[in-house]
Amino acid sequence: MANKKMTSLGKQKSVIRELAGFGAERAKVVGPENVLNFSIGNPSVPAPKEVKEAILDIIQNETPQAVHSYSAGNGMESTRKAIADNLNKRYGTDYGADNLYMTCGAAASLNIALAALIEEPSDEVVVLAPFFPEYTVFIESQGGKMVLVEARDDMQLHAEDVEKAITKNTRAVLINTPNNPAGVIYSKEALEELAAMLEKKSKENGRPIYILSDEPYRELVLVDDAEVAWVPSIYDNTVVCYSWSKSLSLPGERIGYILVPGKVEDKDLMPAIGGAGRALGYVCAPTLMQKVIERCVDVEPDVEVYKKNRDLLFDGLTEMGYVVAKPAGAFYLFIKSPDGDSETFSDRAKEYDMLVVPGTGFGSKAFMRLSYCVDTETCEKSLPIFKEMMDKYYR
Amino acid sequence: MANKKMTSLGKQKSVIRELAGFGAERAKVVGPENVLNFSIGNPSVPAPKEVKEAILDIIQNETPQAVHSYSAGNGMESTRKAIADNLNKRYGTDYGADNLYMTCGAAASLNIALAALIEEPSDEVVVLAPFFPEYTVFIESQGGKMVLVEARDDMQLHAEDVEKAITKNTRAVLINTPNNPAGVIYSKEALEELAAMLEKKSKENGRPIYILSDEPYRELVLVDDAEVAWVPSIYDNTVVCYSWSKSLSLPGERIGYILVPGKVEDKDLMPAIGGAGRALGYVCAPTLMQKVIERCVDVEPDVEVYKKNRDLLFDGLTEMGYVVAKPAGAFYLFIKSPDGDSETFSDRAKEYDMLVVPGTGFGSKAFMRLSYCVDTETCEKSLPIFKEMMDKYYR
């Protein structure tokens, strides 16, 4: 009698949750240090000391009312101004506080932006595999239809592949770079090709096709010559969804933003985002965290451990003959199961108490995801297992 | 081109926001101490010292990962257990952690519960005037139809009035006691009559009609002999939506819960709530605040200022001849404009730099809302103005 769709969403089996359950059970038997858990995207790097200092200072020196009262629905002006300043400094833009809408994290950002963009059930949102599986839930919940672009083995953006998925009903293309689960960064050139194609298609359609740029990993760049392009500088009709979950290691605190640049064609988009926030029950983003962000917006994440883990795993695994999408950002590695069957690989890995997530849910059945936001020892211990598995099963 | 409904929600004029804007302008001219602002429901009592102590202790003594990592979607088990224990102690119930789902505040609680309950566009949710205006937005956003029960001058619950609004399509009755905007508390007897009527009607309909009990003001009881009944002990199919915004003065932090008692008929309701949280983009409730609540769940709010203000205003205004719904809880007073036109009264009050909210949006055009979560001096200063207005306009 409860809503059927919600019940089914609530009861849906989660491969990641099941792996976590298996890992917890095994930890009791063999000790947690002997479970090599690459299944979860919880940052292993602690929130930087500046976050702790900011919380202590705010709580000790400001009145409870100043800290804990409602903020405006779109967030504190001083926080939005600080974020705009940070972006302007880095990208040569001229955003103001009014271009920003504070949210309860990336999932909130995406749902609100989708609700503001989607009008008809026929409206389509194009998603590029491999992709974060919750995208399906978000797009459908907000009344749209997801259209999937298959991945190539390089897991990169290819405008010509995207073009084939564009129809008269395309409302937005949702991109995620650095990418979860593949760890790749889309090149500026690839984004420029995408932009040119979308401009052409928007004209044909008689309404703009938006880029929805989901960027929680923007600051997690792990390869020296890699660069995360600023999408709104490449394509005017871009809406950026951001969260500090990964960059400041604050996933539980639910704090992020939506950026609507002044150049977007539809001047009603920001009001619609305010309305969508209201309609989804978001009164405001958590106020203490808004104040923390205002003070920590310029803090750069410590990515040294992620870099070390990436190098160790990428070099080790490619040397063994594994096919790996070249990871340049985030903290994920997307590895091809040598026989193209990631589910069997994941099952076999469990026999070694090693947890890797089959890529089926991410839209790439042959590949599996390793979240290497773990301590380096776990990565080191995993290499002989990958070697043994290659020798035993796949030679 | 943005979603039309969301744009219209985002652009909707808010009487309260407009009053706030007027107040801010006048404060620049006459000084903030001379603007008598009764328009906003931001608690004037600061968050209790235990909240500050809890935050400092958690931040100083726990690791950032323990504090800021994702929690499970339904919240930390230890927090949910602490809340269940608190409720069991007070109401003689036997809830466990599994009966609770942590949320980002009352608006999130309501939207998630509504999304879990509503199936068809014909599903109706009965709301009793006077009511919090966002209920309309929430019910419609989650796909249902709001059916309004007119208020009597006592602003109380009358089961026979509600009965007339029940149809074959009624999915839930949404109640709010202590009530925003009227400050009344529904008596146990009135709730028992409602329960008996709903049991009968549920049988007739062949499916349960739920009570959705929105209780952010549960702990704000201001009259010694008043008591807030525990609705799930009166009616099995009750879902409680709670928030600490008012009781711990934490409105900006977005922390609350949904309680689904074991006795509800539909065993899929809790999974559906989990699914609805997912579909609306709520990954988890803010983790630091979940930890704070675990430590502060037994802290009782300081309501002395609210009591004092209530007495001062209620006694003073009734003596002048104003009709006031008897306020026993929350921090609102609902006053009838002597000529039944609250909008004109509110406009006239602005000439005295006094801000009161006309009741039109709350479903009661003749009445206006005073939020007396202000300092007592503001209440004292307002009395001669109410007197002068009565003499000048309404004798």
Give pLDDT tens digits for B65-91: 999 999 999 999 999 999 999 999 999
Q: pLDDT digits over B311-363, tens only?
A: 999 999 999 999 999 899 999 999 999 999 999 999 999 999 999 999 999 99
Mean pLDDT of A206-230: 95
pLDDT interval class at B41 (50, 70, 90): confident
Residue in B9, B108, B278 nearest the CB of A137: B278
pLDDT at B86: 98
Check: CB of residue A329 under 8 Å from CB of residue A187.
no
Closest CA to A243 of A124, A330, A115: A330
Share of chain A above pLDDT 90, in %: 94
Q: Which of B:51-70 have CB within 8 Å of A?
A: 51-52, 55-56, 59-60, 63-65, 67-70
What is the DSSP code (8-state) at residue A158? -
Distance CA B18, CA A263 (A): 29
Alpha carbon B307 to chain centroid distance?
Answer: 18
B116–A contact, CB cutoff 8 A: yes
Residues of B whose CB is below 8 A from A273: 6, 10
Q: pLDDT digits over A355-380, tens only?
A: 999 999 999 999 999 999 999 999 99
Q: pLDDT digits over A44-78, tens only?
A: 999 999 999 999 999 999 999 999 999 999 999 99
Q: Which of A9, A11, A65, A68 to mutate to test the interface with B (most CBs of B within 10 A)?
A: A68
pLDDT at B307: 96
Alpha-carbon torsion, ordered A293, A299, A300, A304, to 10 deg: -100
Check: CB of residue B349 under 8 Å from CB of residue B385.
yes
Q: Which of B:276-305 have CB within 8 Å of A?
A: 276, 278-289
pLDDT interval class at A239 (50, 70, 90): very high
Burial class of residue A46 in the structure, from the number of CB atoms within 10 Å of its CB (0-12 exposed, 13-18 middle, 19+ buried): middle
pLDDT at B253: 97
Q: pLDDT digits over A342-359, tens only?
A: 999 999 999 999 999 999
For chain A, how are helix, strand and coil distributed in percent, rounded to 5? 45, 15, 40
Mean pLDDT of A2-23: 90
Alpha carbon A356 to chain centroid distance?
Answer: 18
Q: Which residue of B has its CA nearest to A286?
A: B253
Q: pLDDT digits over A288-309, tens only?
A: 999 999 999 999 999 999 999 9
Nearest CA-CA distance, residue B394 and chain A, Å: 36
pLDDT at B13: 81
Higher pLDDT, A41 or B310: B310
Bridge-based pairing of strands A210-214 and A238-243 is parallel
Q: Is the pLDDT of residue B218 over 90?
A: yes
Q: Which of A:221-280 have CB within 8 Å of B?
A: 249-254, 265-266, 268-276, 278-280
pLDDT at B96: 98
Nearest CA-CA distance, residue A263 and chain B, Å: 15
Residue in B7, B251, B287 nearest the CB of A70: B251
pLDDT at B224: 86
Residues of B whose CB is below 8 A from A65: 42, 44, 46, 249
Q: Is the pLDDT of residue B187 over 90?
A: yes
Q: Which of A:128-187 have CB within 8 Å of B?
A: 134, 137-138, 141
What is the DSSP code (8-state) at residue B329? B
pLDDT interval class at B161 (50, 70, 90): very high
pLDDT at A225: 86
Q: Which residue of A has its CA nearest to B70?
A: A252
Mean pLDDT of B170-179: 98
A118 to B5: CB separation less than 8 angstroms, yes or no? no
Count of CB pairs separated by less than 8 Å, A with B = 253
B9 to A270: CB separation less than 8 angstroms, yes or no? no
User: Which residue is it, tokens 């809503």?
Assistant: A3
Q: Is the pLDDT of residue B276 over 90?
A: yes
pLDDT interval class at B194 (50, 70, 90): very high
Q: Is the pLDDT of residue A21 over 90?
A: no
Strand partners, A357: A369
Phi and psi at residue A25, to the nearest 5°: -65, -45
CA angle A174, A177, A181 (to 5 degrees): 90
Higher pLDDT, B259 or B395: B259
pLDDT interval class at A326 (50, 70, 90): confident
Mean pLDDT of B183-205: 97
Q: Which of A74, A140, A205, A280 to mutate to test the interface with B (most CBs of B within 10 A)?
A: A280
Check: CB of residue B286 under 8 Å from CB of residue B104.
yes
Residues of B whose CB is below 8 A from A284: 252, 254
Residues of A whose CB is below 8 A from B111: 280-281
pLDDT at B17: 81
Domains and CATH numbers, chain A: 4-48+302-393 (3.90.1150.10), 50-296 (3.40.640.10)
A20–B contact, CB cutoff 8 A: no
Of the given ranges (A12-21, A126-135, A262-271, B324-333), which has the lowest mean pLDDT?
A12-21
Mean pLDDT of B223-232: 93
B70 to A286: CB separation less than 8 angstroms, yes or no? no
Residues of B whose CB is below 8 A from A141: 279-281
pLDDT at B14: 82
Share of chain B above pLDDT 90, in %: 94
Q: pLDDT digits over A23-51, tens only?
A: 989 999 999 999 999 998 889 999 999 99
pLDDT interval class at B225 (50, 70, 90): confident
Strand partners, A173: A126, A211
CA angle A350, A351, A354 (to 5 degrees): 40
pLDDT at B56: 98
Residues of B whose CB is below 8 A from A112: 281
